[in-house]
């Protein structure tokens, strides 16, 4: 659906500056995601940390002509042909536009909220309804104040039913989302602890969520939850209530019995007096609850009990991970197991496009048929082709009958089509995949797992999974202590504390870290060769690597006169002037650095008498910001630094950034954040002040290779160290001290997790293998084993080793394959 710019102006009540005609099809709030400039309307949103107005000039250069702003840019003559729609609040304007768009549709709209399970309910409803109706839904979990309007904008003439998620984190937000979604059917999935910090009570949070349903005709909820039932009564909601219950036969949807067999549940229910039954290929409580909510909505929308039964039995797990893995022959695989539809394709292509790549490797898309779009194939695949071309796809591989029939619509020159996965993997095209970044995206029915499996590099069954969303959540957690203008250095030394510097740096660059820091020049070179353009600091510059630093734009730390003089000589030899460096002061660590009292005059003197290097920043490091015990020492360190760094600044006209806080310092001494902070361990999810896990980033996993019964009188492993106290079941796992599993964890000093249960290490840990005791644990060969991560904090291992989590994380060997994912 397209809106003329005049219409948009009226709908959002803006003052228009500019007269060019335009039709708007795309709304943009993040300049990095631009795709169709001519039809894009950019909303210059302001947040605490950023201001969209900053990107107008760049977007204009890239072809965008339509902007919603709260401030019209200076020099309007530089923007011929542009329209600026001036409003007081650009976020409100975005929401208003979505609201007006929503008004055009008299169809059932399902608004889904709750603490957990929103996305699962939305995706399952999609699977249940889409065989018989055209469904528009929020992509992934777009459920915020910005995500909801962007989702609602996706409604189009074909849509017959819409599914939107609404997520809130603080009081007062739901009102805006209600006006935009205007649900006719409301679903409250479950009430849990998420975001409780911003609400006084569970009741208050529940009332806020229920505000979404105020004008809905039907509300679907768990009537066994007393808080929900009470809040709903108190809210004055007057429409129909469809409660599900496992206790009360009077509920609209009464679950009379649930039988479990293996991995399948059979649910017997009574819906409005009629008996029914369905099988669900899941047995956990969360899945059951979501299936009840889905059944209520589907039955209300007219699905027959038979249709419900058939489709429930075929429900697929909701996997929303987008994974990045190393593949064979120099390929990187981006595997998006999320359902294949146009909107999620757009998001995945945007992800690929935004990750820089070295040597400009070719970008390849492997795509299956897209089901249930409601559009004619000619139109759909023409859109897909255009999108792929705009998002930089250079090689297009289509798999499926529909997409093959529309081969002509794909404009990417290097294109290939196959009827099915077999045809593709047996073809020369498959064998020719080399040095490419490959996005693999297919409807589940096509079995694209096989392609991924064949392309994956299988070296070892032990992997480190790195959660990029968690990394960003931690970054934002620490940013919340900082003033918006304070800069941030993200420490990616030691291969990003073991998480893999290249992919971590790509994500940090995308999230606008001001600086990255590594220990040695070679680490910096690797980042540059992989497309990282963010400023990079070298903490331990080697005298032999100055030339490399100049060549790759790496900024060294300078901590001694010897280093400074050598650096100046090297720069002068290359004819370099004003090369940025970072001056380190020693305020108490007594490791590296200039003495802020004794040395500072001489530092200034030497810097003043040359122009090869220039101090870009000055910094020092706390010895004990992670413990209150050292607070007075920290204060003393800070006073010394303050004095020395002020003196340095006073000697120069240009601004010299001052920084001292590390992760613990940011949290403990936000008043000492100065111009910049250096974030290390916290980024990787560990709060060094109390060893608490923030958002867990890295999970080290392996699998059971072999199981055996070992009688009590036998021993396990080298030197017969593994003595048994009972007849035992012993599992061998392919991880040893050469992978970074510290040998001191052996002989029962620590455990790993097998199917959620603790399995202690038995006997000495070997180089490549370890043995664990799984007696009494229900497990099989091939089952997954967690060494540390989401369910077993890395601090359990570091405590057992009487060391710090830094050491355990950075010990993970480079031979352990890493898999990056994003929800
Ligand atoms: C590693 C390092 C940091 C980061 O410390 P964390 O405790 O991991 O936050 C900060 N500054 C310097 C100089 C470092 O070497």
Q: Return the bridge partners of 261, or none.
A: 264
Q: Find all residues with CB under 8 Å of 402, minimum gap 6, and list them.
A: 369, 370, 377, 381
Do 210 and 237 meet the contact criterion of CB atoms below 8 Å apart?
A: yes
For 426-430, which contacts have Cβ atoms below 8 Å and span 24 or more sequence positions? 429/397, 430/454
Most distant pair of Cα atoms in the chain: their distance = 91
Looking only at the bridges linking them, the beta strands covering 686-687 and 676-679 are unpaired
Catalytic pick among 118, 241, 441, 493: 493
Please give the domain boundaries of the chain with CATH numbers for all domains: 3-93 (3.40.1390.10), 105-313 (3.40.1190.10), 322-458 (3.90.190.20), 482-692 (3.20.20.10), 698-822 (2.40.37.10)
The H or E element containing residue 93 is: helix 90-103
Relative to the CA of 681, which ligand 1 atom is closest?
8
If you search the block for the tokens 């919603």, which residue do you land on? Answer: 68
Give the pair of three-digit tokens for residue 45.
Answer: 């949103």
Distance (Å, rounded) from C-alpha 275 to C-alpha 296?
13
Look at residue 445 in the predicted model and tell me its pLDDT: 80
Comparing CA positions, the residue from 700, 324, 684 lying closest to residue 495 is 684
676 is in an annotated binding site: no
Q: What is the CA radius of gyration of the chain?
A: 29
Question: Considering only CA atoms, which residue is closest to atom 1 of ligand 1?
Answer: 680
Alpha-carbon distance of 412 to 791, in angstroms, equals 44
Question: What is the Cα–Cα distance from 679 to 179, expressed in whole angstroms?
Answer: 40
Consult the annotation and say whether 591 binds a ligand: yes
Query: What number of helices (H) and strands (E) belong to the chain?
Result: 27, 43
Closest ligand 1 atom to 519 CA: 15
* 3-class secondary-structure state, position 780: coil
Query: How far is the CA of 817 from the CAs of 322, 639, 733, 793, 795, in angstroms?
Result: 17, 45, 16, 20, 22
CA 662–ligand 1 middle distance (angstroms): 5
The CA distances from residue 563 to 536, 567, 584, in Å, are 18, 6, 12
| CA 812 – ligand 1 centroid, Å | 19
Ligand 1 center to 544 CA (angstroms): 24
Is residue 718 within 8 A of residue 763, CB to CB? The reply is yes
Tokens matching residue 208: 């806020």
Written as one string, the DSSP assignment of 588-649 is SS-SS-B-TTTTHHHHHHHHHT-SSEEEEEEE---S-TT-GGGHHHHHHHHHHHHHHHHHHH
Beta bridge partners of residue 557, listed in sequence order: 582
Closest ligand 1 atom to residue 665 Cα is 9
Residues 52/55/57/61 CA torsion (nearest 10 deg): -130
CA of 680 to the centre of ligand 1 (A): 5
**Minimum-distance ligand 1 atom for the alpha carbon of 625:** 7
Rounded CA-CA distance 591/587 in Å is 10
Q: Which atom of ligand 1 is found nearest the CA of 619?
A: 13
Looking at residue 74, the DSSP 8-state letter turns out to be: S
* 167 phi, psi to nearest 5 deg: -115, 140
Paired sense of beta strands 395-399 and 83-86, if any: unpaired
- For the CA of 679, the nearest atom of ligand 1: 9
Q: Please give the pLDDT value at position 663.
A: 97
Which residues line ligand 1 at a C-beta cut-off of 6 Å? 491, 539, 621, 662-664, 678-682, 688
**Residue 206: enclosing H or E segment and its boundaries?**
helix 202-210
Pocket test for ligand 1, best of 489, 662, 681 (most atoms within 8 A of CB): 662
Instruction: Please tell me the distance from the alpha carbon of residue 806 to that of residue 683, in angstroms, as a whole number.
Output: 12
CA of 505 from ligand 1 middle (Å) equals: 16
| Neighbouring-strand partners of residue 324 | 334, 820
Q: Identify the residue whose tokens are 């249960």.
A: 757
Evaluate whether 128 touches 304 at the Cβ level (below 8 Å). no
- Flag residues of the chain having pLDDT under 50: none
234 assigned to active site = no
- Provide the edge-to-edge strand list for the sheet that holds 15-17: 15-17, 83-86, 66-69, 40-43, 26-28
CA end-to-end span of the chain: 29
Helices (H), 235-376: 285-300, 305-313, 342-354
Q: What is the DSSP letter of 585?
A: B
Nearest CA to ligand 1 atom 2: 680
- Residue 660 C-alpha to ligand 1 middle, in angstroms? 10
Full DSSP string of 412-469: -SEEEEESSHHHHHTSHHHHT--SEEEEEE--GGG-THHHHHHHB--S-S-EEEEEHH
- Evaluate the CA torsion angle 201, 205, 206, 211 in order and state its sign: positive
What is the three-class DSSP state of 302? coil
SS3 call for 69: strand
Q: Atom 4 (ligand 1): residue with closest C-alpha?
A: 680
Helix axes 377-390, 342-354, angle to 10 degrees: 10
| Contact between residue 329 and residue 434 where contact means Cβ atoms under 8 Å apart | yes
Structure tokens at 618: 């000055």
Give per-residue burial for 303-323: e unless 16+ CB within 10 Å, then b: bebebbbebbeebeebebbbb
Instruction: State how beta strands 264-271 and 253-261 pair.
Output: antiparallel
CA dihedral 256, 262, 263, 266 (to 10 degrees): -20
Nearest CA to ligand 1 atom 12: 621
Beta bridge partners of 706: 732
Rounded CA-CA distance 188/206 in Å is: 9
Look up 493 and say whether it is catalytic.
Answer: yes
User: Is residue 165 within 8 Å of residue 152, measured between CB atoms?
Assistant: no
Classify residue 7 by burial, with Cβ atoms within 10 Å: 0-12, 13-18, 19+: middle
Assigned token pair, 431: 């064998």
**818 Ramachandran zone, left/alpha/beta (phi>0; psi -120 to 50):** beta
Best residue among 517, 590, 659 to mutate for probing ligand 1, ranked by most atoms within 8 Å of CB: 517
Structure tokens, 416: 């290939």
- In this structure, is the dihedral angle defined by the CA atoms of residues 390, 391, 396 and 397, taken in order, positive or negative? negative
Best mutation site among 620, 678, 683, 805 for ligand 1 pocket (most ligand atoms within 8 Å of CB)? 678
Tell me the sheet residues that pair with 33: none
Helices within 249-303 (DSSP H only): 285-300
Rounded CA separation 145/517 (Å): 34
Q: How far is the CA of 493 from the centre of ligand 1 (A)?
A: 9
Instruction: Find the 550 Cα to ligand 1 centroid distance in Å.
Output: 24
Dist. CA 241–CA 230, nearest whole Å: 13
| DSSP-derived 3-state class of residue 137 | strand
CA of 489 to the centre of ligand 1 (A): 10
- List the beta bridge partners of residue 753: 758, 786
* Contacts (Cβ under 8 Å, ≥6 apart) of 239: 213, 216, 217, 218, 219
Q: Which residues contact 797 (CB under 8 A, 6 or more apart)?
A: 742, 745, 750, 787, 788, 805, 808
Burial call 736-762: b when 16+ CB within 10 Å, e when fewer? bbebbbbbebbbeebbbbbeeeebbbb
Cα 623 to ligand 1 centre (Å): 10
Phi, psi of 218, deg, nearest 5: -135, 140
Angle between helices 90-103 and 5-12 (to 10 degrees): 110
Of the candidates 246, 244, 301, 304, the residue with the CA atom closest to the CA atom of residue 274: 304
Closest atom of ligand 1 to CA, residue 666:
9
Give dist(CA 337, CA 319) in Å, integer: 6
């Amino acid at each position: 659906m397209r809106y003329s710019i005049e219409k948009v102006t009226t709908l959002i009540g803006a003052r228009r500056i500019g007269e060019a005609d335009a039709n708007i099809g795309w709304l943009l709030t993040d300049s990095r995601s631009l795709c169709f400039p001519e039809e894009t309307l950019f909303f210059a949103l302001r947040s605490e940390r950023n201001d969209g107005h900053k990107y107008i000039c760049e977007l204009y250069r890239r072809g965008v002509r339509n902007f919603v702003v709260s401030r019209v840019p200076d020099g309007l003559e530089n923007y011929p042909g542009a329209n600026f729609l001036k409003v007081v609040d650009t976020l409100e304007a975005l929401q208003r536009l979505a609201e007006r768009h929503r008004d055009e549709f008299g169809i059932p709209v399902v608004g889904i909220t709750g603490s957990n399970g929103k996305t699962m309910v939305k995706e399952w409803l999609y699977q249940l309804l889409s065989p018989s109706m055209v469904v528009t839904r929020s992509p992934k979990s777009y459920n915020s104040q910005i995500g909801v309007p962007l989702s609602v904008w996706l409604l189009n003439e074909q849509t017959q039913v819409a599914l939107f998620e609404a997520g809130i984190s603080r009081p007062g937000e739901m009102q805006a989302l209600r006006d935009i979604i205007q649900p006719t059917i409301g679903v409250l999935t479950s009430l849990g602890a998420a975001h409780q910090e911003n609400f006084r009570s569970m009741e208050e949070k529940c009332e806020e969520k229920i505000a979404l349903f105020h004008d809905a005709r039907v509300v679907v909820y768990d009537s066994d939850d007393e808080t929900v039932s009470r809040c709903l009564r108190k809210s004055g909601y007057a429409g129909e209530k469809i409660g599900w219950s496992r206790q009360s036969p009077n509920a609209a949807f009464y679950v009379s019995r649930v039988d479990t067999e293996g991995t399948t549940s059979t649910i017997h229910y009574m819906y409005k007096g009629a008996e029914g039954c369905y099988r669900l290929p899941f047995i956990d409580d969360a899945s059951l609850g979501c299936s009840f909510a889905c059944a209520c909505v589907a039955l209300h929308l007219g699905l027959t009990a038979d249709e419900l039964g058939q489709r429930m039995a075929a429900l697929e797990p909701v996997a929303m991970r987008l994974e990045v893995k190393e593949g064979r022959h120099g390929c990187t695989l981006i595997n998006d197991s999320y359902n294949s539809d146009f909107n999620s394709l757009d998001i995945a292509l945007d992800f690929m496009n935004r990750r820089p790549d070295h040597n400009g490797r070719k970008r390849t898309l492997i795509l299956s048929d897209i089901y249930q779009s409601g559009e004619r194939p000619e139109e759909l695949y023409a859109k897909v082709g255009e999108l792929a071309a705009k998002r930089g796809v250079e090689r297009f591989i289509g798999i499926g009958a529909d997409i093959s029939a529309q081969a002509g619509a794909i404009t990417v020159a290097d294109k290939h089509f196959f009827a099915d996965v077999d045809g593709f993997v047996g073809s020369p095209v498959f064998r020719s995949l080399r040095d490419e970044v490959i996005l693999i995206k297919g409807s589940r029915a096509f079995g694209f797992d096989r392609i991924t499996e064949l392309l994956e590099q299988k070296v070892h069954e032990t992997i480190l999974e790195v959660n990029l969303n968690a990394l960003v959540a931690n970054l934002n957690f620490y940013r919340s202590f900082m003033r918006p203008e304070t800069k941030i250095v993200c420490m990616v030394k030691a291969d990003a504390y073991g998480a893999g510097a290249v992919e971590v740096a790509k994500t940090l660059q995308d999230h606008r870290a001001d600086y990255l820091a590594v220990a040695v020049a070679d680490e910096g070179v690797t980042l540059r060769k992989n497309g990282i353009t963010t400023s990079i600091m070298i903490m331990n510059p080697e005298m032999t690597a100055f030339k490399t630093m100049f060549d790759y734009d790496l900024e060294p730390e300078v901590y001694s006169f010897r280093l400074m003089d050598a650096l100046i000589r090297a720069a002068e030899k290359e004819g370099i002037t004003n090369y940025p460096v970072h001056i380190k002061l020693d305020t108490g660590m007594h490791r590296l650095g200039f003495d802020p009292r004794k040395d500072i005059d001489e530092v200034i003197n030497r810097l003043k008498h040359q122009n090869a290097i220039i101090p870009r920043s000055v910094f020092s490091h706390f010895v004990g910001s992670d413990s209150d015990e050292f607070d007075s020492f920290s204060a003393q360190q800070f006073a010394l630094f303050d004095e020395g760094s002020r003196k340095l600044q006073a000697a120069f006209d240009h601004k010299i950034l001052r920084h001292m806080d590390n992760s613990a310092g940011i949290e403990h001494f936000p008043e000492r954040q100065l111009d910049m902070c250096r974030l290390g361990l916290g980024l990787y999810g560990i709060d060094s002040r109390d060893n608490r896990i923030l958002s867990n980033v890295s999970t080290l996993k392996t699998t059971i290779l072999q199981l055996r019964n070992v009688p009590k009188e036998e021993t396990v492993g080298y030197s017969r160290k593994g003595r048994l106290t009972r007849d035992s079941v012993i599992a061998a796992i392919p991880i040893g001290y050469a992978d970074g599993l510290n040998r001191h964890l052996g002989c029962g000093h620590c455990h790993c997790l097998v199917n959620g249960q603790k399995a202690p290490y038995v006997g000495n840990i070997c180089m490549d293998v370890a043995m664990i005791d799984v007696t009494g644990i229900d497990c099989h060969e091939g089952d997954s084993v967690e060494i540390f991560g989401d369910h077993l904090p890395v601090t359990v291992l570091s405590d057992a080793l009487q060391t710090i989590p830094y050491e355990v994380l950075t010990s993970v060997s480079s031979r352990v394959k890493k898999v990056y994912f994003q929800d």
